[in-house]
Structure 1
Amino acid sequence: MGIVQIAAVIVILLLLVKPVGTYLYHVFSNEPSRTDRIFGGFERGIFKLSGLKNREGMTWKGYAISFLGTNIVLVAFSYLFLRLQGALPMNPNGTGGMEQSLTFNTVISFMTNTNLQHYSGETGLSYFSQMAVITMMMFTSAASGFSVAVAFVRGITGRDTVGNFFEDFVKSITRIFLPLALLVTLVLVALQVPQTLQPSLHVTTLEGGSQQIAIGPVASLESIKHLGTNGGGFFGANSAHPFENPSPLTNVIEILSMWTLPASLPYMYGLFAKNKRQGWMIFSAMMTLFVLLLGLNYYAETAGNPAINAMGIDASQGSMEGKEVRFGIAQSSLFTAVTTAATTGSVNNMHDTLTPLGSITPLSLMMLNNVFGGKGVGLVNMLMYAILGVFLCGLMVGRTPEFLGRKIEAREMKLIAIAILIHPLIILAPTAAAFLTELGKGSISNPGFHGMTQVLYEFTSSAANNGSGFEGLADNTTFWNVLTGIVMLLGRYVSIIAMLAVAGSMIRKKPVPETIGTFRTDNGLFTGILIGTVLIIGALTFLPVVVLGPVAEYLTLR
């Protein structure tokens, strides 16, 4: 039945990919469409108020500067709001201002679409901060990533310009995230997720004692948390909390919310390229990698903990430690795989309690950093590997490599090399640094191989802009707040700027006519080459450290 549950969700996703991908194309193609009748007037009002009457196409540098400038302004306001939240309105529980290193980590985390939480939402934030900072940045960081992905697609598919960042940014919010967030919010409220501005409830327990139960505007945050692949929870327990995710039905809704848009981007890309097979090729590579790693997690969790099995205890139900009974292993494994494949970071089970082999799945999905990905990240990274695969194949056969009718030359490969190498560098170097100082080692709750995985997971999640964590790690310290904040910044902006530069370089190239010797990139052979390229680079960079962590722990338990 577990496999049936997983298969049913995947089938629903497959049915959504084409219509959603088509809608995204109509939103960003800048061609007249029916969506203009619905949203055009509202958007023109926004552009008029903001002084953007003439929204001409930008160069890649102009696009990157606009993207960075918008993010910097939002970070500055958010930092002030969190530091001063004790004196701001809508604070019925009297929550004080956030400590400065934690504030730095939080605003960087949410602006980079990471949403790594070193605080507990129900006790660390006021209602005003939850809405004006956290929810606001969930919309804007997702819209920023979506805009960059669309700009990159325009660049490599030969459009005249990469577009206008501010127009893409506004359209992402008005035509995609706001309508979907409103719809999902209403559905979640109907399914018993709280949405209120009342203070925490004071209740009397069965023993006659007093207890406070946190509530608040949960449903509205929960909707954009998943639609924007953000992941930051209203409560510390995230989507394992019954107020955020009360039933198997809400669990499926949250899975599809964070999975559908990233999975539909390859189809949108195929429409931009005027070759739908290109889009399905990218999607097939993503889904193949996803299913393989999902299968590993499901197998490991259903097999149970070898140490417990060796004690003669009945573990036929698998490893349920850290999982909610209302979800079971199947929906927990699927959620684990989707939240790390889509770089969302929300959790409905505690990843720190995964079996050693089971923990390889979320680690690998974040290390590969291109299996669906967050808002646009997965598509951009997979296209980056596709260009790399074409380049390597061109070297093998002695031809100048081409992708979508444009030659791939030294400039593009240098930029792609930067984007590929920065990811393992900002994971492995800080992991090593954490073990060289007591500031890092002092936060580890498990001194064995599991402790190695705790540290590795924290930096992998930060670099991949995912945000989930092995919560056994005591990470709310100045050391962890500052270091993970720096990793999140580098993980987000270095690769984005490098890939925008690739788009700018490709858009200036003249198309090369297709010949009998042109290497095709829209067939099964190239899908296999793409998967192989991803796995080989991932294994070369991360296999040794994975052996030191979860693999060594698995062998020790046995």
Structure 2
Amino acid sequence: MTIVSIILTLLIIVGLVIPMGNYMASVFSDNTTKLDKLFHPVEKWIYKLGGIKNNNQNWKQYALSMLTANAFMILLVYLIFRMQGHLPLNPGNIAGMSPDLAFNTAISFMTNTNLQHYSGESGLSLLSQLIAIVYMMFVAPATALAVAIAFIKGLAGKNIGNFFIDFTKSITRILLPIAFVTSFLFIALGVPQTFETTTEATTLEGAEQVIATGPIGSFLSIKELGNNGGGYVGVNSAHPFENPNAISNIMQIILMFLLPASIPITYGRLVGNKKQGKVLLISMSLIFLVFLSTSLYQEYQGNPALTALGISAENGSMEGKEVRLGIAQSVFYAITTTATETGAVNTMHDTLTPISGMLSLANMLLNTVFGGVGSGFINIMMYVLIAVFISGLMVGRTPEFLGKKIEGKEMKLIAITMLISPCLILVGSALALFTPLGSEGISNPSFHGLTQVLYEFTSSVNNNGSGFEGLGDATPFWNISTGIAMFIGRYFPLITMLAVSGSLAAKNIVPETAGTFKTDTSLFGGLFIGTVFIVGALTFFPVLVLGPIAEFLTW
């Protein structure tokens, strides 16, 4: 039955991505649509209030607008976190965050990472949850989606538009309407929605218990839809208030997939090649299915050490998993949340078997198995352009993509972009393992401890936010180091790939010939998958051997 539920969930997602992708294409098209009558009056008022003019920007202006707006918002929420002890809507009298924790949290949520070095219900006031956290859960994915659309338009040779207009449309026409509707669905399933931050209850044994509550229903919908992942409560979606039953669990998985899996369809519509978008969607889906099936198989094998003690494989694999949901739904959630760079968890990833933990880690390292809203698709297109370049070299032709030649300037930018993530992850992990400030936080010795550190930096750099747990990361070292990693890992690729798009947009279209390599075929899909694993996976293979693979071999 559990496997059937996974198959049905995937079929629902398949049925949603094409209409959702077509809808997003209509939102960001330059043509007048029926949607304008509904949304334009509100957007017109926002544009007037913000002094936004409907003018087209070049890629430099677009990138500067994005970076400036995000930097201002980071500063704004940083001040809220620091001063929350003196601000209203703080019934728990929670003190302001320390400078390093406020720095980490502000960057974390603005970069769509949602790495939490605090416990949700006890680390933030109600005002901070509503005004800062939920606010960033909308503006962070809207930022990445706007940049992704500009990137796609540049590849298609169109005007990339205005950042503030794309940013506004991402919220008003996509994120806000869907989050509003799904909030009511979650509330109907039993997720609390109240301004009361605590509820007192008497247990069956007669003890008094204080239970954290709050406006969790509205928080939960944008948490999953925007690939944010941060939890209102510390244990995230393992808590019955954030994930009351199997239906809410499936809804969360669907929301995590909805936008990242739909963007390839949007891309196909905007560049005028629907088949190419479908090839990318199928390619990513195949990688996801291989990772999911392998992880499920490994978890059902259990822990050999526990099996030797007479504990069944299934019972041995239940450590750290939610009993209400079981192994299959826990593993499905873990692979989904890391594939979509959401970071929400309904099980502790630290307790996954070594291979399952490695596959969740690999999802983040590759950042191409769908990836987060917007930013994941830009990373996918980086590998697409690498695949096109390699194929051109193999046949002795200047590589072409969408009628534009890919030359030295573009490949230099792509090479730098490709190297930034490994450098941040591997250098950061090495520094943490080398210094007492980092190594003192490791709770498990040997191979598993190395994986804890690697997972933390990977989750930070690639904007996932989930934790392997067991790592004592609420320290100035981890707050500052991962904060810097999150900032660079987020904005550097967005800007450099936007520059690639701007460079290609300025080139003349090369007429297609019999020798032009087709990028909308199954052959190219296979080449794309091969490029992801050869270029991406091999970069991290040595450190994976030292961590999860070595742990698996020594079980």
Query: Structure 2 length normalisation: TM-score?
Result: 0.99
Q: CA deviation at 1:519?
A: 0.4
- Give distance in 2, aligned partners of 1:487 and 1:141: 16
- Give distance in 2, aligned partners of 1:457 and 1:450: 10
Counterpart for residue 347 of structure 1: 345
Matched, 1:202 2:200: yes
Given residue 143 of structure 2, which amino acid in structure 1 is its aligned partner? S
**Identical aligned pairs, as a percentage?**
55
Q: CA deviation at 1:211?
A: 1.8
**Do the aligned partners of residues 104 and 514 (structure 1) sit closer, same or farther apart at CA in structure 2, a change above 3 Å counting?**
same
Given residue 92 of structure 1, which amino acid in structure 2 is its aligned partner? P
Q: What CA deviation, in whole Å up to 9, does each residue of 1:522-544 have, x standing for no partner?
A: 00000000000000012321111
- 1:323-338 map, 5 Å: 323-338=321-336
CA contact (8 A) 2:175 2:222 kept: yes
Candidates 276, 298, 305, aligned match of 1:278: 276
Counterpart for residue 21 of structure 1: 21
Q: CA deviation at 1:204?
A: 2.6
- Give distance in 1, aligned partners of 2:497 and 2:243: 36
Counterpart for residue 134 of structure 1: 133
CA contact (8 A) 2:302 2:312 kept: no
- Give distance in 2, aligned partners of 1:318 and 1:384: 41
Counterpart for residue 30 of structure 1: 30
Q: CA deviation at 1:478?
A: 0.3
Q: CA deviation at 1:316?
A: 4.0
Counterpart for residue 518 of structure 2: 520
Q: 3-state SS of the aligned residue for 2:554?
A: helix
- 1:24-103 map, 5 Å: 24-52=24-52, 54-103=53-102
Q: 3-state SS of the aligned residue for 2:313?
A: coil
- What is the RMSD of the two structures over their aligned residues, measured on CA atoms? 1.0
- Give distance in 1, aligned partners of 2:312 and 2:399: 57
Counterpart for residue 546 of structure 2: 548
- 1:51-450 map, 5 Å: 51-52=51-52, 54-159=53-158, 161-317=159-315, 319-450=317-448
Given residue 294 of structure 2, which amino acid in structure 1 is its aligned partner? L
CA contact (8 A) 1:344 1:374 kept: yes
Q: CA deviation at 1:317?
A: 5.0
Counterpart for residue 510 of structure 1: 508
Q: 3-state SS of the aligned residue for 1:212?
A: strand
Q: CA deviation at 1:49?
A: 1.1
Given residue 152 of structure 1, which amino acid in structure 2 is its aligned partner? F
Counterpart for residue 9 of structure 2: 9
Given residue 464 of structure 1, which amino acid in structure 2 is its aligned partner? N
Range with greater deviation from structure 2 (328-337 or 64-73): 328-337
- Give distance in 1, aligned partners of 2:413 and 2:304: 45
- Give distance in 2, aligned partners of 1:338 and 1:205: 35
CA contact (8 A) 1:360 1:550 kept: yes
Q: 3-state SS of the aligned residue for 2:377?
A: helix
Q: 3-state SS of the aligned residue for 2:210?
A: strand
- Give distance in 1, aligned partners of 2:333 and 2:430: 30
- Give distance in 2, aligned partners of 1:274 and 1:206: 63
Given residue 318 of structure 2, which amino acid in structure 1 is its aligned partner? M
Candidates 465, 469, 472, aligned match of 2:470: 472
Query: Structure 1 length normalisation: TM-score?
Result: 0.98
Q: 3-state SS of the aligned residue for 1:211?
A: strand
Q: CA deviation at 1:305?
A: 1.1
- Give distance in 1, aligned partners of 2:178 and 2:322: 27
Q: CA deviation at 1:326?
A: 1.5
Given residue 99 of structure 1, which amino acid in structure 2 is its aligned partner? S
Q: CA deviation at 1:377?
A: 1.7
CA contact (8 A) 1:162 1:503 kept: no
Q: CA deviation at 1:318?
A: 5.8
Q: 3-state SS of the aligned residue for 2:438?
A: helix
- Give distance in 2, aligned partners of 1:387 and 1:176: 28
Unmatched segments (≥5 aa) in structure 2: none
- Give distance in 2, aligned partners of 1:423 and 1:289: 20
Unmatched segments (≥5 aa) in structure 1: none
Q: 3-state SS of the aligned residue for 1:435?
A: helix
Given residue 150 of structure 2, which amino acid in structure 1 is its aligned partner? A
Q: CA deviation at 1:81?
A: 0.5
Q: 3-state SS of the aligned residue for 1:202?
A: strand
Q: 3-state SS of the aligned residue for 1:443?
A: coil
Q: What CA deviation, in whole Å up to 9, does each residue of 1:53-107 have, x standing for no partner?
A: x311100000000000110111111011011101111111111111111100000
Q: 3-state SS of the aligned residue for 1:500?
A: helix
Q: CA deviation at 1:513?
A: 0.5
CA contact (8 A) 2:126 2:197 kept: no
